[in-house]
A = this chain, B = another copy of it.
Amino acid sequence: MTQNIYDNDTFFAGYSQLPRSQRGLEGAPEWNSLRAMLPEMAGLRVLDLGCGFGWFCRWALDRCALSVTGIDVSKKMLARAREESDPAIQYLEADLEHLTIERGSSDLVYSSLAFHYLKNLDPLMAEIAGALVPGGHLMFSVEHPMVTAPLYPAWSEDRDGVKAWPVNHYLQNGPRETDWLAPGVIKQHRSMTSYLNMLVRHGLTLTHIEEWGPTDAQAAAQPSLLDERHRPNFVLVSAVRR
């Protein structure tokens, strides 16, 4: 089973302070890009894998999704999601690595920044592909493989003093331990092509991909985001089941 760092007290306390936890979707700089990649929500059966505090579930319901199910492994996050939630949203506690999803039960599977915690993503991708109806969408974001690859992730500088991000071990998929909000957080590095070929292998067709960087307006409001133009932090992917 995947490390459930979100139920670690220190991690949870730190995570709860992030803008994306306090302000929800609008607190996540990549949200506008994700939203632009989503289909029209009205009437869709939506499944959110790694739903956290349920911000996306509530957003989907507000846009007249037909049904919304949020799944997460973290008891702490689900507890808060349920507090704030509409009873029309179904929240389930489950380990995404051992999840079975009813075939043909979803029009949209959404997952924000969850897949890079999973040691074995392939079985889940098979479930997702089976769960989607023909024409159904998978939309997910993960940490960029350039971010997860190095054993010692940290900025350096080039000879002009411009930030640079040293990448190594890129083709070696597997766990990477970092100290982020708490010591010993384990993320699973996968190369870009590992993600993309997994989609293809399960019969999903890539429809859009984005290595996220800030708009000029975002960078003006929060200059630290400019680092992401040097080395984007997130990859956003949408795919369709043909």
In the complex, A23 has a CB within 8 A of chain B: no
User: Pick the contact of A156 from B151, B166, B210, B211 — CB < 8 Å?
Assistant: B166
Chain B positions within 8 Å of A159 at CB level: 152
Tell me if A207 is interfacial: C-beta within 8 Å of chain B: yes
- How many Å lie between the Cα of A192 and that of B206 in the bound state? 13
Interface set, chain A 168-183, CB cutoff 8 A to B: 168-172
Q: How would residues 187 to 227 of chain A score, 1 for a CB under 8 Å from any chain B CB and 0 otherwise? A: 00001110011001000011111110100000000000000
- Tell me whether B163 and A164 are in contact (CB under 8 A): no
- Which B residue sits closest to A230, measured CB to CB? B168
Q: Say yes or no: B200 contacts A170, CB within 8 Å.
A: no
For A70, list chain B residues within 8 Å (CB): none
The answer to whether A158 touches B168 (Cβ under 8 A) is yes
Contact partners of A126 in chain B: CB under 8 A: none
Cα A196 to Cα B146 with chains together (Å): 17
A171 touches B209 (CB 8 A): no
* Tally of chain A residues near chain B (CB < 8 A): 39
Given A151-B158, A158-B150, do A231 and B167 touch, yes or no (CB 8 Å)? yes
Complex copy number for this chain: 2
Output the least CB separation between A236 and chain B (Å): 9
Distance A172 CA – B211 CA, assembled complex (angstroms): 12
Is A83 at the interface (CB under 8 A from chain B)?
Answer: no
Given the contacts A196-B206, A206-B196, A166 and B158 also touching, CB distance less than 8 Å: yes
Question: Contact flags (1/0) for A143-161 with B, using CB distance below 8 Å?
Answer: 0001000111000101110
- Option from B151, B196, B205 in Cβ contact (under 8 Å) with A209: B196
- Is there contact, CB below 8 Å, between A170 and B229? yes
Determine how close the nearest CB of chain B comes to the CB of A143; give it in whole angstroms: 14
9 interchain pairs (CB within 8 A)? Answer: A152-B158, A158-B166, A170-B232, A171-B232, A172-B229, A191-B211, A193-B209, A197-B209, A197-B210
